[in-house]
Chains A and B, each alone.
Chain A
């Protein structure tokens, strides 16, 4: 099956610094990538949808200037958390879709990145 990787798997940073998280589709071209956030004991909430070569579409309540998303190629999307604060501490998960997997448009999920802001 299709594989999606994320790097790093976990990161600890100081308040006020920026952190970049990478999401890669390893064996397929991802026309669309999604970024989700999951707080402890809660479900996944979509933050933004990105299509290769175009600006990301953010969900209501998600600050686009704080969570910068770049989908520069068909295999890589990055999420940069700028000026991180402790309340940004969460589990960030990306998913990728080629839009052509037997017509099911299946989203393949990465393993997630645990961000802790001190």
Chain B
């Protein structure tokens, strides 16, 4: 059974700091990995999707890397802003149109 773990559970940083969120998964046979953002009481916003054959994806100030063999992914946020405050979830899927298995998230607070 696939298990996804995210560390840390919560993180508070001053504005402008660069930060890294970690995600690990127990079964390396994944199809893809996604990072999502969730604001309180809201749905999910997809940030980045990395296919199993890829090593990283970038979008603006966000960079996600994937090391499938070691079962790890990181989400790097550059020059953090208060608007980045949210819960960040990573999720993996085993195959096309398969279920997403989510981690429990990292709650990020960026202080002005």
Contact = CB atoms under 8 A, between A and B. Distances in A.
Contacts of B99: 34, 46, 49
24 contacts: A6-B43, A32-B97, A34-B99, A44-B44, A44-B89, A44-B102, A46-B99, A46-B100, A46-B101, A49-B99, A93-B44, A95-B44, A95-B100, A99-B96, A99-B97, A105-B31, A105-B32, A106-B46, A106-B49, A109-B44, A109-B45, A110-B43, A111-B43, A114-B41
B103 to A, nearest CB: 6
Contacts of A34: 99-100
Contacts, number: 53
Interface of A: 6, 31-32, 34, 42-46, 49, 91, 93, 95, 97, 99, 104-112, 114
A104 B103 contact: no
A43 B43 contact: no
Interface of B: 31-32, 36, 41-46, 49, 51, 89, 91, 93, 96-97, 99-105
Given A42-B104, A43-B104, 7 more contacts: A34-B100, A46-B101, A95-B44, A99-B96, A105-B31, A105-B32, A112-B41
B11 to A, nearest CB: 15
A99 B31 CA distance: 14
A43 B97 contact: no
- The secondary-structure label for the interface of chain B is strand
Contacts of A44: 44, 89, 91, 100, 102
Contacts of A93: 43-44
A91 B42 CA distance: 9
B97 A104 contact: no
B88 to A, nearest CB: 11
B71 to A, nearest CB: 18
B41 to A, nearest CB: 7
